[in-house]
Every structure is written in C-alpha cells, then in structure tokens.
Structure 1
C-alpha cells in the first residue's frame, strides 16, 4: 500500500504545533529571566541593617573555605572583611598549615584588626567532598546561627551581607519562611584565555537568565553554591534524604547524621543542602539583589569542557529527567525546532526565523549582562566576549553528548565516580590511554581505590 504525505498530515501537524509551543515556552522563560534581571539587579538599595547597632541585628558567621592561591584571592577575601554589617565574624578555613592562602589571610587580618577574623587550620573527614571536610572546623566553631558560606574565588559588594539577611528574614509571597538566600554567579575573567571567555559568556548570559527564571517561578530548588546564607539550626534538622519530615514537633529532625557532615558524601553539596531545606523542611529560597562575582581566572578550552561535563554528569545522576530535556533548551536545537514548525504551519522562512532568533537572543543576553554587571559590555572585551558567546552556543550540544554517556568526573585533580543518588566515590587517579577513553565515556573499565563512601542514611 502506497502512503503519501496526506496520510501523515495529522501527525506532522501535531508535532509542528508541539514544537511551536515549546519554542514559544522557552522564549517566555528567557524573557522572564531577562525581566527578573532588570527589575531585581539594576537597583540595589542600601539595607537599613548596614547602619544598625550591633545588638539590633542577628549575628552572622562567614565561612570561607580556602585552598591555594585562587585568582584575585586578596580582593576576594577583602570583600568579606569590608562588609557593611555590624555583627559578623569571619572564619577562614584551610586544611593544611602550609597552604599558600594563609599569608594572604594574615595580611588582611593585620590590615583590618577591628574585624573578628579567625584562621582555622585542619579538616575533618566526614565524607568524600574536600570542601565540606575543609568547612567542618568553621562549622563547629561558628558562634552564630546564621552561616554565610562563600567560595574563595568569589568577591562581593560591601552591602551584600546586610541585604542577604534582609532577604532571609522576609517571608515569600506565599507566606513560607525563607531558609536559604543565594546569589546568582556573575563571572569575570582576568585573562584572555579561550575557556575563560566561553565560561564568562555562559555564566553571564544563558546560565543567568535560566537561573533567574527558574528561581522566579520557584516550583523547585535551583541553587548554585558560590554564595549561600542559611541557618545552622535548619541544616541540623536535615540529612540529604529529600524525604519530608513527618513529625509535627516544632524542631523535629531526620534520623541519623544531620547537618553539614551529612552532605560530605555529595560532590554538589551546595545543591543538596538547598534541596534538603526545600523538600525535607518545606521551606523556600530567595535571591537578593546582589551577585556573586566569580573570578574565572586562567581556563583553557579543555578546562571549560571538563567543567561542563562534570556538572552535567552530576545533574544527570540527581535529576535525570530535567537533564535529558536540557539539549532541547539550547538555542541551536530550539531554533531548529521552531523554524521547522513555523515553516510547516505558516510557510515562514526558516532562514529568516534563524536570523531573527539569534539577533533577539544576543540582544536579550547582552541585556542580562548589563543588568547583572551594572554597566554595558565593555568595549575592551567586546569581540572576545562575543566570540565566547558564539562558541558556547556551538559547543553546548557536543558537550552534552560527551557528558551524558559517562559517570566519571574530575575535580581539583582527583577522579570521582558519580552514583545514581548524587553521591560520589573516588576512583583511581592513574592516567593512561584507557583513562582518556573513560573520561569520554567510551570505556566502562574502572580501577577503584579502596576508599568507599560511608552510608549515612538510616
């Protein structure tokens, strides 16, 4: 039996209509992120807490995990010494007494003697995540309930802490208590390296507008842990199981190990802490009007690809369905769907659709950049940034395909295997041709060290 085009017209019509709906839905999300950036970040009012007395504001313990000489380290750390907030302590945590970051911290302590700053040396082995192990000394020593954990490669505005505390104490529109305040990363590169420019373009455009849109809709936890503010009393009630606490007791907690030690088994401990506060306690998150200025530093193209592969593989093992949808949110795949749908339904030119799509996308992304940076894209980096933007869009799908077929990741020079629940375990650091194939996901033969993650769930 011969089949002609009309036999499939209904199916084609359905698929074209579905494709157009998806195309318009993604553009709606992008525009929502752009609007959020404009409305939230173009005006950053000074918090009244900045000029309050010490006894009138809640105390905050700032925890900064340090390891080595990160790019711009002095300025990054100084930005927490100069916070306009009357009641905070600063705890700088290093694992090794020979760490190169220590002279920088000591110099800042002598320059700002009025700041209650302490250096805590030594880590505590609570899991496989070295950042969590490093933070444990500060977590144990902190004298305040509110903790601000901020990465060593991040610098912040002097009013950031006061505005974050404001957000933490303000309920959401639905009346739910805010358990965590986070800051959208804003990258800036100090070097003209290919990977640095691509990462800068990615974080300040595509990532930012999606991050802001998802957090504006707020139907699920979505947090990057560059700069997070939360209460230790809340964290001490959760364990990363993501199972709601069923007890009606006011301060009921999960069974077993809770608090920061419970999250040492995860590579993405920041995301898991946020998810635990959301799902286990039923609380919510908020964004203040500040950004976490993430210093990218010297990043090669391989470094960029490796970083993206790492976090796609981590997300795949935490939220598989959402990760599998990611390719269809990328601009090149999306415009292929949208242009084909418009061509079939209305006879609209594919090439005209592609041209309009990318012109509008570039305009939107540069607008997001302007909102977060507080100024337009500087002329000094214009062409490098635009080249990075184009490269990011072109590389997005190949990197996803590379990442989706494997589970091995590399972080700070160590190899990990990501497990199905988002936990990780060490694998051999032996480098060989087989290692290269394993990194690409083409070989599943692996050589595990005799190091296992201790189960901490009940």
Structure 2
C-alpha cells in the first residue's frame, strides 16, 4: 500500500516559535517594569536624614555646587534657593552665565544677598571648549571650584534640603566597606517633572518622565549592568573626571596614563551633545567605577511646551542615542506598551486561544496601574484627583505618539538644541550646521523652553 507524504509542518512550527518568543519577550518586559516599580517603592517612599547633615564642617568632604544658568526658567528662584537651603555644613555655590545681560543674574544676586552666610558667587563669561553650550558655560566654574566633589545641577531643577547630605553619604559609602566594593564615582537623581502651566506638550512630558521613563530608569540602574544616567543632577569627583577623555576605552588605575595630547576632564566632553551620559559612561568604562541612585528626585518644573516641542525634544534624544547605543535604539519600539501588548495578545491567542480584546483590557489596566504606582513612589503622594484625567489622557497620548516619533527620529541626524541646529555624528558627537533652527513642514517653528546660549567675548567674574 502506497503511503501518503506527511504534510509540511514548517509554517506551524515557525508560527509556534514566534509565539513563544513573543510571550517570553512580554514576560521580560513585565519583569523589568515590576523591578522598576519595586525599586520605586523601596527607595523613594522613605527618605532618611543623613548623619552628615549635622556633622562638624571639618569632618566631612566639601562640595562645590555648580549651577549653569541661562534665562528665566520656570520656578528659577525656587530652584536656585533649594541649593542655598541644603542641610549640609560644608559647601559652596557657583552660578555661571555666558552673558552679562542674562535675565537670570538678578535672581542669582538676590539669593546671594538673602543668604549672606552661604559661600556663593557668580561667574560671568563662557570659555568655548566645544559645541556643547552647557559645557562651555560650566568650564570656568569647574576649574575654579574649591572642592573635589562637584554637584552639577541644572537651573530647571529643585531638590529637597537633605539631598546633598544623602548623596555625599552614598558617594563615600563604598570607600568605607570591607572588603572594598567597586567604588561609586557618580551619584545621580531620577528626574521628576511637574507641569504647572498645563500646556499639552508639558503634560505629555510629565506623564512620560514620571511613569514609563522613570520605571525603566530605575530598573536599569537597579540591575546596573551598564551606565544609564540623565544629567539634570549629578555628583562626581573632579579628580575622577580628570582621568577620563570620553573614549570609553578602559584605562589603568595608575599615574602612568600620560597621553599628553589627549584632552581630559570636563573639556573633553564639549564635543558631545549628551555630555551627562558620556561623562557617566566614561567613569564606568574607562575607570571601571560604578554609579548609584540617591533616594531623592530632581524635581523639574516644565514651562510652556507645545505638542510640537515635545515631539522634537523626543526626536532629538532618540537621534543622539541611536549614534551611541544603536542596538538598544532599534529595539526600543518593541519595549513600548502598544507593540509589546500586541505581540503578547497575538501569542496568547495562538497558544491558548485567549481573546485578544480581553487580554488587551487586562494588560492596559495593569500597565497603567504600575506606571501610576511609580508616580506615587517618586512624588510621595497619589496622583491628585483634580489632575487624574488630564494625566491619564496625556499618558495615553504619549503611548500613541511613541512609535511615530521613533520613526521620525530614525529618518534623520539633525537636531535642534537650545536654538541651534546640530548634526549628530558617531558616538554622539555633534557639529553645528549653518542652517537656522527651524523644523519646517510637519510641525511649527521650534519654541522649546530650553536655554538658548550665545557665545560671549567678554570674560570676567562677578563677585
């Protein structure tokens, strides 16, 4: 009797394999999200007072707080004042501006007058060491700082009074362990955003940074297998930074690193747009040191940000990131809520015949709940009832915009930052372009509330 050939099972096997891979990927994403949520609950719902807050000034390391200023940021007075009121006995404040006509100067001078007991001063005039205007503004403060520990904090950020003491305690803690652990070279603070003016772009930015971004940021830094730092508020040692050059190539921990032709220290990072991330990566890879998160947040009040501003802000950082970590950037869409849930829904329907609509309802409810729990941990309180629907609406809009923004970002290499246009090059370096800072066609003119730095020829200090 003639036997019939068996039907080809390869399509079913391939579909089954894809379904399994999709389900595994979904479980991995949930594991990361829940890790971020758990970290938020454990680290940020209780902020103990550091013993350094009441220690004698000569018994603790001094800190130089560097504040680069440009223009009138939202809540600028309150932001700067939060560093004057730090519960730490040994610090100085250096505020720097590039232009002697800068509108931030009267605010800085008023605070210096209000707190005469605080060692604070202003430096006027930038030194151009690269294309990054923030680095150019900071370079003189960096060199003139009295102390080795530097706290670089953006002018748009305010912090709790105990932030500095807790951060220094964390920075110094690894040197006191026996046996010594891999030393902490940088302490950073997770951004937490508020949008008091209620513009649509501001609300979307708030919903993104306080939920999905914070959740992933906390999880990645908990696992701590790679550098992941946002530079709104960072503490590190100048002596460490003077040993790195931004190459990310490991260096021996000796004084024999005598490459005299290589620029080191803060000036070496003037060629990067994301100097904060590159500084953190250099400390991690070149010196084999690690980072740690404080239990404090960097509170950032967002001013007037339109929907167009929000879109181009996200485009800017994706374009920078794709030249620094291309694999992670390509993978990014698959970590987003809508694509990940769609893949999981198809996998569960194929494998277990679970209705797609039922799964998606459960998924999105649970995903939103976790995100709101992260918000509550960082804020120290639940989402206020009078803002709940606005916040959830902005959260939904952010989810819908994520994929289109990613595609837009992947199609180009030019970014606009602080009113100037740059082309992003290899490894996150940038160069200025001659074209003006406009996004034409798809969105309106760039109106981002970021600082707009202009070069200044005069170079003197205000004491």
Q: TM-score range by the shorter chain?
A: over 0.9
| Match of residue 352, structure 1, among 336, 358, 364 | 358
- Structure 2 match to 1:328: 334
| Match of residue 50, structure 2, among 38, 47, 50 | 47
The aligned runs of 1:381-392 (5 Å cut-off) are 381-392=387-398
Give me the TM-score of the superposition, normalised by structure 1.
0.92
CA pair 237-253 structure 1, distance change in 2 beyond 3 A = farther
| Match of residue 134, structure 1, among 123, 137, 142 | 137
- Give the match's secondary structure for 2:243: coil
1:95-122 C-alpha deviation (Å, 9 max, x unpaired): 0111000000011011110000000000
Check whether the contact 1:408–1:438 (CA below 8 A) recurs between aligned residues.
no
- Structure 2 match to 1:339: 345
Check whether the contact 2:421–2:436 (CA below 8 A) recurs between aligned residues.
no
- Structure 1 match to 2:72: 69
Q: CA deviation at 1:296?
A: 1.1
Q: CA deviation at 1:430?
A: 3.3
- Structure 2 match to 1:436: 440
Is 2:109 the partner of 1:103? no
Check whether the contact 1:408–1:439 (CA below 8 A) recurs between aligned residues.
no
Check whether the contact 2:63–2:147 (CA below 8 A) recurs between aligned residues.
yes
Check whether the contact 2:308–2:443 (CA below 8 A) recurs between aligned residues.
no
Is 2:147 the partner of 1:144? yes
- Structure 2 match to 1:115: 118
CA pair 248-215 structure 1, distance change in 2 beyond 3 A = closer
Is 2:233 the partner of 1:227? yes
The aligned runs of 1:49-448 (5 Å cut-off) are 49-171=52-174, 175-245=181-251, 247=252, 249=254, 252=257, 256-430=262-436, 436=440
Q: CA deviation at 1:5?
A: 8.2
How many residue pairs were aligned?
Answer: 436
Q: CA deviation at 1:384?
A: 1.1
Check whether the contact 2:201–2:306 (CA below 8 A) recurs between aligned residues.
yes
User: What are the ranges of 5 or more consecutive residues in structure 1 without an aligned counterpart?
Assistant: 441-458
CA distance in 2, matches of 1:26, 1:291: 24
CA distance in 1, matches of 2:196, 2:148: 35
User: What are the ranges of 5 or more consecutive residues in structure 2 without an aligned counterpart?
Assistant: 445-463
Could you say what the CA RMSD is over the residues aligned between the two structures, in angstroms?
1.9
- Structure 1 match to 2:456: none
Q: CA deviation at 1:291?
A: 0.2
CA pair 251-60 structure 1, distance change in 2 beyond 3 A = farther
- Give the match's secondary structure for 2:422: strand
Check whether the contact 1:63–1:149 (CA below 8 A) recurs between aligned residues.
yes
Check whether the contact 1:26–1:329 (CA below 8 A) recurs between aligned residues.
yes
CA distance in 2, matches of 1:406, 1:284: 33
Q: CA deviation at 1:429?
A: 3.2
Point out the more displaced range, 196-205 or 423-432: 423-432
Q: CA deviation at 1:377?
A: 0.4
Check whether the contact 2:253–2:287 (CA below 8 A) recurs between aligned residues.
no
- Give the match's secondary structure for 2:127: coil
CA pair 113-415 structure 1, distance change in 2 beyond 3 A = same
1:390-421 C-alpha deviation (Å, 9 max, x unpaired): 00111000100110110000011110000022
Higher relative contact order (CA 8 A, sep 6+): 2
CA distance in 1, matches of 2:367, 2:256: 47
Point out the more displaced range, 383-392 or 166-175: 166-175
Q: CA deviation at 1:6?
A: 3.9
Is 2:25 the partner of 1:22? yes
Check whether the contact 1:168–1:178 (CA below 8 A) recurs between aligned residues.
yes
- Give the match's secondary structure for 2:20: helix
CA distance in 1, matches of 2:257, 2:433: 37
1:67-87 C-alpha deviation (Å, 9 max, x unpaired): 000010000000000000000
Is 2:13 the partner of 1:10? yes
CA pair 22-253 structure 1, distance change in 2 beyond 3 A = farther
- Give the match's secondary structure for 1:318: coil
CA pair 398-4 structure 1, distance change in 2 beyond 3 A = farther
Q: CA deviation at 1:185?
A: 0.1
Q: CA deviation at 1:248?
A: 5.1
Name segments (4+ residues, structure 1) moved above 3 Å: 2-7, 250-255, 429-432, 437-440
